[in-house]
Amino acid sequence: MEEFEKLLDAERVPVEHFVRFRLNSKADADDILQEIYLAAYQNFSQLKSKESFKSWIISIARNKCNDYFRKKAVQYEIPIDRITERELSDSRHGISTVAAVRETLHLLGDKDKQILYLYFWKQLPQADIARQLNIPVGTVKSRLHTAKRNFKVKYPYNTDVLKGESAVKKLPELIPDYKIEASTESPFSVKWEELMGWFLIPKIGERLSWGIYDIPSRKCSYVYDMRVTGKARVHGIEGVELTAKETSCSDRRRVMNRTFVAQLTDTHCRYLATVQNDGDVRNYITFLDGDEFMLNWGFGEENCGNETNLSVKGDIQRVGNSVTSVDKDFLLDIVGRYTVTIGGKSYDTVCVMDIETCNCGVVSEQFLDKEGKTILWRRYNRDDWAIDWYQKPWSEQLPENDRLVINGTTYVHWYDCITDHIL
């Protein structure tokens, strides 16, 4: 089919990036790519819209990769369906420890995965592991020691705190009590220059601390200390480099240092690159790397970024906790004016809603003051979001938390973020 070959040639690079990013073995990746192209060719007649070819073939690639890991799971007794899920991925909205563990497991050899699973997931004694694998107990101990060492090398968190360094104590352990009241006044337009999901303005000299607070416990789970370190250029485009030190509040020794590059113009703010550490190798992923970058960091057509000059568009309508929206990509809009009182201070804000622009099933409320600074950020999960991993809907997991009903679908409040701007 000439049409199929033309469409495939246009999308071959992002498909290959998608597969090779997930599979360590080049030979296995080549085999999977051939399976993807064959399946796409055989089912091409079922594709209703040729404009959807890219997303369609990427979905085939995702399924073929999952099939590959399932076969490995049967061979090595690893529950790979859960390990390979990437709902909590490294992205504009941060990274979770659970996601980091799963990503690290991807980088290990099959024997390392197997021994770690049996010991930590199934919690089998070493003698039972020896009987199950038909190897001596001494071999189990040796393999377990090697697997833990390999995991530690590739795990992105630094478990050693530098001498004289301490976690930031400026942010409170509990999020202050707050109240959100709708205003009868019209929403104001605002200049919003913060990086979406990270709150820092990408300008020389800027720095910021912010925290994630679980709801309903209101406890801080992670603190982020961010600063702009200098100018940077990615594929000829000028931007700035930023660093973010993520500290776990449950274990202050668990620190993750991250680097990415962003660009701020008069009209947009966007990410240009992110850096991922694979052991002692720094892996740069840029806006030219197709879906490998766009799925987690890109925003807007051709990665134009989020608009900095915000005013009401009418794409999203909100009355109380009921929300309706037009059918279009990149749904981000001002939905009303609110007085947010937090920590004894009151702020005149507009609420910016983001409906599933980065992660399918995730919605956010971002309350901005007239300076364009975030006063409060709230995340909601669609009731069935990541249900394969969590095993039950969010309305059951967090029955006391707030709800939004968006186009008839329920979303449940999960956590909040505040920055040192309000302290």
Q: Token pair of 34, please?
A: 């051939």
Instruction: Give the CATH class of 178-422.
Output: mainly beta
348 φ/ψ sector (left φ>0, alpha ψ -120 to 50, else beta): beta
Return the pLDDT at 159: 43
Return the pLDDT at 360: 76
Determine which of 25-34, 117-126, 183-192 has the lowest per-residue pLDDT on average. Answer: 117-126
The DSSP code sequence of 91-116 is BTTB--HHHHHHHHHHHS-HHHHHHH
My answer on whether omega of the bond before 399 falls inside 30° of 0, hence cis, is no
- Which tens digits make up the pLDDT trace of 356-405? 876 678 899 999 999 999 999 999 999 998 887 788 899 999 999 999 99
**Nearest residue to 221 (alpha-carbon basis) of 230, 229, 213, 233:** 213
Higher pLDDT pick, 67 / 158: 67
Q: 3-state class of 400 per DSSP?
A: coil
Higher pLDDT pick, 94 / 193: 193
User: Could you give the percent of the chain with pLDDT greater than 70?
Assistant: 84
Does the structure show a pLDDT above 50 at 167? Answer: no
Higher pLDDT pick, 64 / 338: 338
Out of 3.90.960.10, 1.10.1740.10, 3.40.50.300, 1.10.10.10, select the CATH number for domain 2-76: 1.10.1740.10
- Nearest-angstrom CA–CA distance, 359 and 38: 29
DSSP state of 44: G
Alpha-carbon dihedral 23, 24, 28, 30, rounded to 10 degrees: 80
**Nearest residue to 247 (alpha-carbon basis) of 271, 221, 216, 279:** 221
Return the pLDDT at 85: 37
Does the structure show a pLDDT above 90 at 413? Answer: yes
Q: Token pair of 224, please?
A: 């982020």
Determine which of 164-173, 196-205, 295-304, 366-375 has the lowest per-residue pLDDT on average. Answer: 164-173
Query: Are 356 and 363 a contacting pair, CB within 8 Å?
Result: yes
Within 8 A by CB and 6+ apart from 304, the residues are 268, 270
Q: Token pair of 136, please?
A: 């001596």
Higher pLDDT pick, 273 / 77: 273
CA angle 57–58–59, rounded 5-degree value? 90
Does the structure show a pLDDT above 80 at 91? Answer: no
Higher pLDDT pick, 49 / 80: 49
Within 8 A by CB and 6+ apart from 27, the residues are none
Higher pLDDT pick, 192 / 170: 192
**How confident is the prediction for the chain on average, in pLDDT?**
84
Return the pLDDT at 108: 79
- The full set of domain ranges for the chain reads 2-76, 178-422
Return the pLDDT at 169: 45
The DSSP code sequence of 206-217 is -EEEEEEEETTT
Which run of H or E residues covers position 247? Answer: strand 237-248
